[in-house]
Amino acid sequence: MNKSQLFKKLSEIWNITEKDAKLCVNTLFDAMTGALAADDRIEIRGFGSFKVKQYQSYEGRNPKTGEPVQVPEKRLPVFKMSNKLKRSMNDNPKDNFSQPH
């Protein structure tokens, strides 16, 4: 599912315009992005958690030439799914997430 499909699905479920669904989704993503940029952890019970992980610089290799390359340190978001989400992937996933709770 991409963002456009998410807007459409939310507009159908909540009986709102796609424009309003887009505003909801983008507001949520902006808030999550801002929280991660501020090194805050995001926990959505029953779904999972997001946090930023710091990676140190290291020496890698250019896959084409094999030459050593210095890879700079970086911060990347990581996601850990909840046990409930893990279990739902083996049940009926189409039934679990089709209607609002």
Same-domain pairing of 22 and 52: no
Is 77 within a domain? yes
Q: In terms of pLDDT, which residue wins out, 26 or 93?
A: 26
CATH assignment of the domain containing 89: 4.10.520.10
In this model, does residue 100 exceed pLDDT 60?
A: no
Is 33 within a domain? yes
In this model, does residue 94 exceed pLDDT 80?
A: no
- The 3-state DSSP class for residue 43 equals strand
To the question of pTM greater than 0.95 for the whole model, the response is no
- The 3-state DSSP class for residue 96 equals helix
Domain of 36, in residue numbers:
1-40
Longest CA–CA span in the chain (Å) reads 56
Binning pLDDT at 50, 70 and 90, where does residue 91 land?
confident
pLDDT tens-place string over residues 31-83 = 999 999 999 999 999 999 999 999 999 999 999 999 999 999 999 999 999 99
- Beta-bridge mates of residue 68: 61
Q: Outline where DSSP puts E strands in 1-101.
A: 42-44, 48-55, 58-61, 68-71, 74-81
Is 101 within a domain? no
Q: In terms of pLDDT, which residue wins out, 42 or 97?
A: 42
Strand duo 58-61 + 68-71: pairing: antiparallel
